[in-house]
């Protein structure tokens, strides 16, 4: 009997080991972001996986992390955590909105988690926010798992358009004072949001003094992409720049935005009273607004050489 049990036990172990051997990258107790890791995958300590849903567009997962609150992952890429998303969402919204002297109508592309519209709504000048998100499932799951953003979806100033943003934006001309492109990476459904055509459509959808900012990845890991986007924007906008923010759970710990502006430079309309009226913030302030456009020398050199 003992021998039989031992054999059974060994067989179980062999099966377990084979499963591990086929997925040697599974680290018990940790979520690891493998795709496009550029040699430095992001690794986060997690407890339970709360959801895993395959929508018509993508795989959406929610995890409970041990030290970063709830985390959303789309197609195996970390989108946000409760603890450190402010560096992303505040910088995505407040930099272009404060750079604009009087933003009234704002488009948020992607951003179905609600984090960016939550920041946009803090600006009293804004009368209308359109959220264009391709995937209703992202919105539904965000409402459930990020209660701090949930009320924004029902705010009377917000219109939700569930549509492919690359198509939607072609129908909009001279409409928006500010556009925030809160996209995923330039692979899969998000790929169209990194093309020159999309930037032309953004320019057409903006008012004559409009400002757009677009998620443009890490300056260390995506230097070539940033240089490509900068080349588009330099030809299309009066002011084109890159600015960055620190988000520990993004690859290499930073992420940045392309700043595309038809008339206003990033600093000419900074108004301390408007910033104070936003209320308590976690990351953004006037100093960070200015500092975020100061780039390391290697990136300046790269943008100059193209």
Q: What is the CA radius of gyration of the chain?
A: 21
Regarding 23 and contact with a copy of itself (CB under 8 A), the answer is: no
Q: How many residues sit in the footprint of a copy of itself (CB under 8 A)?
A: 59
Does 182 participate in catalysis according to the annotation? yes
Scan residues 46-65 and list those touching a copy of itself (CB under 8 A).
65
Q: Taking the complex as a whole, how short is the minimal distance between the CB of residue 239 and a copy of itself, in angstroms?
A: 16
How many CB atoms within 10 Å of residue 57? 16
Q: Which stretch binds a copy of itself (CB under 8 A): 104-112, 147-155, 204-212, 294-302?
A: 294-302
Helices (H) and strands (E) in the chain, counts: 11, 12
Please pick, from the candidates 1, 4, 5, 39, the single residue that binds a copy of itself as defined by CB under 8 A. 39
Half-sphere CA count of 290, side-chain side, radius 13 A: 8
Regarding 246 and contact with a copy of itself (CB under 8 A), the answer is: yes
Cβ atoms 8, 20 nearer than 8 A:
no
| Backbone φ, ψ for residue 103 (5° rounding) | -75, 125
Regarding 145 and contact with a copy of itself (CB under 8 A), the answer is: no
SS3 175: coil
> From CA 188, how far away is CA 74, in angstroms rounded?
11
Residue 248-287 contact track with a copy of itself, rule CB under 8 A, x = bound: xxxxxxx--------------------------xxxxx-x
Scan residues 213-232 and list those touching a copy of itself (CB under 8 A).
218-221
Cβ atoms 257, 214 nearer than 8 A:
yes
Q: Taking the complex as a whole, how short is the minimal distance between the CB of residue 244 and a copy of itself, in angstroms?
A: 8
Starting from the edge strand earliest in sequence, which strands make up the sheet with 206-215, in order? 158-162, 128-133, 105-110, 176-182, 206-215, 254-261, 239-246
Q: Taking the complex as a whole, how short is the minimal distance between the CB of residue 89 and a copy of itself, in angstroms?
A: 13
> From CA 306, how far away is CA 295, in angstroms rounded?
15
How many CB atoms within 10 Å of residue 146? 22
Q: H or E segment at 107?
A: strand 105-110
Q: Which stretch binds a copy of itself (CB under 8 A): 24-32, 152-160, 183-191, 233-241?
A: 24-32
278 alpha-carbon distance from chain centroid: 21
Regarding 87 and contact with a copy of itself (CB under 8 A), the answer is: yes
Regarding 24 and contact with a copy of itself (CB under 8 A), the answer is: yes
Regarding 185 and contact with a copy of itself (CB under 8 A), the answer is: no
Regarding 148 and contact with a copy of itself (CB under 8 A), the answer is: no
Q: Which stretch binds a copy of itself (CB under 8 A): 83-91, 110-118, 166-174, 234-242?
A: 83-91
Catalytic residue among 84, 135, 182, 185: 182
> From CA 227, how far away is CA 213, in angstroms rounded?
15
Cβ atoms 107, 175 nearer than 8 A:
yes
Q: Smaller CB distance to a copy of itself: residue 38 or 102? A: 38
Catalytic sites, residue numbers: 182
Chain contacts with a copy of itself (rule: CB under 8 A) = 10-11, 13-14, 16-17, 20, 24-25, 27-30, 32, 37-45, 65-68, 84, 86-87, 218-221, 244, 246, 248-254, 281-285, 287-288, 290-292, 294-298, 300
């Amino acid at each position: 009997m003992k021998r039989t049990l031992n054999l059974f036990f060994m067989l179980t172990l062999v099966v377990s080991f084979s499963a591990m051997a086929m997925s040697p990258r599974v680290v018990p107790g940790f979520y690891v972001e493998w795709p496009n890791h550029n040699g430095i995958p992001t690794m986060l300590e997690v407890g339970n996986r709360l959801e895993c849903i395959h929508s018509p567009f993508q795989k959406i997962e929610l995890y409970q992390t041990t030290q970063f609150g709830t985390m959303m992952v789309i197609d195996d890429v970390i989108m946000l955590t409760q603890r450190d998303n402010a560096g992303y969402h505040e910088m995505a919204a407040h930099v272009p909105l404060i750079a604009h002297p009087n933003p009234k109508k704002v488009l948020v592309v992607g951003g179905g988690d609600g984090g960016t519209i939550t920041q946009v709504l803090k600006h009293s000048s804004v009368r209308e926010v359109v959220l264009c998100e391709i995937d209703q499932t992202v919105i539904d799951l965000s409402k459930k798992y990020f209660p701090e953003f949930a009320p924004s979806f029902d705010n009377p100033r917000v219109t939700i358009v569930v549509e492919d943003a690359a198509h939607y934006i072609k129908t909009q001309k001279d409409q928006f004072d500010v556009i925030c492109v809160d996209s995923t990476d330039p692979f899969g459904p998000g790929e169209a949001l990194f093309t020159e055509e999309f930037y032309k459509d953004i320019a057409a959808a903006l008012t004559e003094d409009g400002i757009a900012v677009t998620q443009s990845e890490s300056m260390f890991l995506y230097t070539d992409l940033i240089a490509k986007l900068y080349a588009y924007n330099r030809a299309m906008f009066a002011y084109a720049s890159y600015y960055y923010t620190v988000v520990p759970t993004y690859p290499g710990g930073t992420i940045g935005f392309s700043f595309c502006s038809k008339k206003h430079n990033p600093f000419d309309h900074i108004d301390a009273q408007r910033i104070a009226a936003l209320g308590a913030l976690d990351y953004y302030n006037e100093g960070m607004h200015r500092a975020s456009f100061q780039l390391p020398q290697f990136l300046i050199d790269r943008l100059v050489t193209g």
